[in-house]
Amino acid sequence: MGFRLCKTEFIVLIDSDAYPDHPWLDKIESIFEQNQTIGACGGPNLSPDENNDEKKLIGFVKKSWFVTQNANLLKKIQSKGQFIHFLPSCNLVVKRSVFKDKDPFDKRLFANEEISLNTYIKKNGYKTYYDPSVYVYHKDRNINSFLRQRFIYGSESLSVFLKFPCKCSFNLLLSTTPFNAVLLLVGFFVLRVFQFDIVFFDTYLFPLAALIILLSIIVIIFETCRVFLICKRNIFKIFGLLSLSVFLPGLGQIMKPFLSWKLKRKMWTQ
């Protein structure tokens, strides 16, 4: 509705739980003025300082590259301005001319719709610019809500990749592999119990699944230590939270056939 009704030169996208505390739009406007090839501009979405302990922990976890795409750019203010292929819509300003009176979002997607938007911008010959000074604060979810969000992200991963194949959608699909590897491992032991012998499974799939799980555990341990050194919270809680963050997207992908739009909305809502 907003896209259809908007008559201004720019369309500003921001989440209902995000807010700026500086001349945010003034900075973005000056960036557009400097380069006419820019079709969209945005920056980091940072965790606010007033978070409670639980949400602070989520904020630290989301700074992990294993959890957030482009975490070093989107969750910190430390890099230089640059052209980028993906920015989330919680902090994004787009020229209205980019849309050409069409809706750039794919309404069939429940989540990860920004990938369709960023693909649309690129296909229409425009560039997306990231500037670290153009930041907003984005409130973090509590642990339960965050984990449900990870589950929902995974449930949309295959659909997003098939409709919008790109680096971002591939990384999203890749996030489901740890849980799928666990399923392969379980399948291997089930076949062993019933004395089935499948050469391809034994020779290739089992070692691959074992390697993926091993690498996932190594990364989880490494990231657990990193987060612990920063925030000094309960290390076992951090390990459990990161483990669930890594394996829940794959569970969401497997459960997708059983998830109605209404159920996903109920799970998504904070």
Tell me, yes or no, whether 117 and 53 share the same domain: yes
Distance CA 34, CA 269 (A): 39
Residues in CB range of 112: below 8 A, 6 or more apart: 153, 156, 157, 160, 169, 172
State residue 145's pLDDT score. Answer: 93
CA–CA distance, 44 with 134 (Å, rounded to integer): 7
12, part of any domain: yes
Strand, coil or helix: what is 134?
coil
Q: Which two tokens stand for residue 122?
A: 């690129």
- My answer on whether 206 and 130 are in the same domain is no
Q: Identify the H or E element spanning 93.
A: strand 91-95
Q: What pLDDT is recorded for position 201? A: 66
Is there a domain that residue 150 lies in? no
For residue 152, being part of any structural domain is answered with no
The domain of 217 spans 173-268
Q: Give me the CATH number covering residue 133.
A: 3.90.550.10
Q: What's the confidence (pLDDT) of residue 216? A: 93
The DSSP letter of residue 88 is: -
Residue 145 inside a domain? The answer is no
Is 118 part of any domain? yes
Domain termination site, one of 88, 123, 140: 140
Distance between CA atoms of residues 266 and 270, nearest Å: 9
Asked if residue 156 is part of any domain, the answer here is no
> What pLDDT score does 128 carry?
93
Examine residue 165 and state whether it is found in any structural domain, yes or no.
Answer: no
> Is the same domain home to 133 and 197?
no
pLDDT tens sequence for the chain (270 residues): 777 788 888 999 999 999 998 899 999 999 999 888 899 999 999 999 876 888 888 998 998 888 888 888 889 887 789 999 889 999 999 998 887 767 777 888 888 888 888 888 888 888 999 999 999 999 999 999 999 999 999 999 999 999 999 888 999 999 999 999 999 888 777 767 666 666 666 677 788 888 999 999 999 999 999 889 988 888 999 999 999 999 999 999 999 999 998 999 998 887
- One domain, residues 132 and 186: no
Q: Is 130 left (phi over 0), alpha (psi -120 to 50) or beta?
A: beta
CA distance 164 to 183: 26
Question: Number of structural domains, the chain?
Answer: 2
How far CA 124 is from CA of 41, 89, 103, in Å, comes to: 15, 18, 13
b/e map 206-217, b = 16+ CB within 10 Å: beebeebbeebe
Q: Residue 116: its pLDDT value, please?
A: 87
